[in-house]
């Protein structure tokens, strides 16, 4: 896919460019980003160059992941990174993100996630957008909740981060949560056992 850009009231979501490496490197010196995301630790300038100049463009080229630099429209400052990744189930994607420390608490990432979700459902034909984070990552869960994600539970050993398997929280957003149509019919279970046909019937 050809890389595209998205705009919101305050933000520009655009593909990463060669000149972004220094800003990504600076943001990822934050211990919280290294602790709660799968970025390398310690994080070097070579890691930022690999991410911005090779991995991110490559994801657009092979349609495996779509990484955006989240930039403030008023100042041009990099506020964070957001990626939409394909999952194995058709129509299912996963969102991941981090926010630079100095831009947290202002609602920027919630705004970016909502824009990316709308694009996923309308342009990529997505029917389900998943969010997952290591159990305990309260700031990430707060962003997901504000964006409308429904929390669906825990996964044991659901994340491999720097050689250690960790439990994860999982949530999902559907097109209908944003008032959008889906590409495939969706039949939700309305009660435990709804739709099952393996129950014994009365004589």
Would residue 203 count as lying in a domain? no
Nearest-angstrom CA–CA distance, 198 and 65: 40
Q: H helices then E strands: how many in the chain?
A: 6, 8
Please state the pTM of the whole predicted model: 0.92
- Cβ atoms 52, 60 nearer than 8 A: no
Would residue 197 count as lying in a domain? no
Instruction: Summarize pLDDT for 19-36 with one digit per residue, the tens.
Output: 999 999 999 999 999 999
Q: What is residue 203's predicted lDDT score, i.e. its pLDDT?
A: 43
Q: What is residue 201's predicted lDDT score, i.e. its pLDDT?
A: 44
Would residue 110 count as lying in a domain? yes
- How far CA 12 is from CA of 17, 47, 69, 130, 199, in Å, comes to 14, 23, 8, 22, 53
Task: Please give the structure tokens belonging to residue 68.
Answer: 């955006």
Instruction: Summarize pLDDT for 67-86 with one digit per residue, the tens.
Output: 999 999 999 999 999 999 99
Would residue 58 count as lying in a domain? yes
Instruction: Summarize pLDDT for 175-188 with one digit per residue, the tens.
Output: 999 999 999 999 99
The tally of domains found in the chain comes to 1
Would residue 190 count as lying in a domain? no
Which residue is listed with tokens 């996923």? Answer: 120
Please give the residue range of the domain that contains residue 17: 6-178
- Cβ atoms 21, 46 nearer than 8 A: no
Question: Directed axis angle between helix 138-146 and helix 108-123, to 10°?
Answer: 60
Would residue 143 count as lying in a domain? yes
Low-confidence ranges of the chain (pLDDT < 50): 195-203
How far is residue 11 CA from its own chain's centroid?
16
- Cβ atoms 26, 44 nearer than 8 A: no
Would residue 32 count as lying in a domain? yes
Residue 131 sits in a domain of what CATH number? 3.40.630.30
Would residue 122 count as lying in a domain? yes
């Amino acid at each position: 896919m050809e890389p595209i850009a998205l705009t919101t009231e305050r933000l520009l979501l655009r593909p990463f460019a060669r000149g972004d490496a220094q800003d990504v490197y600076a943001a990822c010196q934050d211990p919280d980003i290294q602790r709660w995301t799968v970025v390398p630790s310690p994080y070097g300038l070579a890691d930022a160059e690999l991410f911005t100049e090779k991995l991110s463009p490559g994801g657009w080229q092979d349609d495996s992941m779509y990484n955006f630099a989240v930039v403030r429209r008023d100042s041009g400052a990099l506020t964070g990174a957001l990626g939409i990744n394909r999952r194995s189930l058709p129509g299912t994607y996963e969102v991941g993100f981090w926010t630079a420390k100095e831009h947290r608490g202002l609602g920027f990432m919630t705004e970016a996630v909502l824009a990316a979700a709308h694009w996923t459902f309308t342009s990529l034909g997505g029917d389900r957008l998943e969010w997952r984070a290591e159990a305990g990552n309260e700031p990430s869960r707060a962003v997901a909740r504000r964006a409308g994600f429904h929390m669906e539970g825990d996964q044991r050993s659901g994340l491999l981060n720097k050689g250690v398997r960790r439990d994860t929280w999982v949530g999902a957003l559907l097109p209908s949560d944003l008032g959008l149509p889906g590409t495939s019919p969706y039949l939700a279970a309305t009660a435990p056992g709804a739709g099952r046909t393996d129950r014994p019937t009365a004589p």
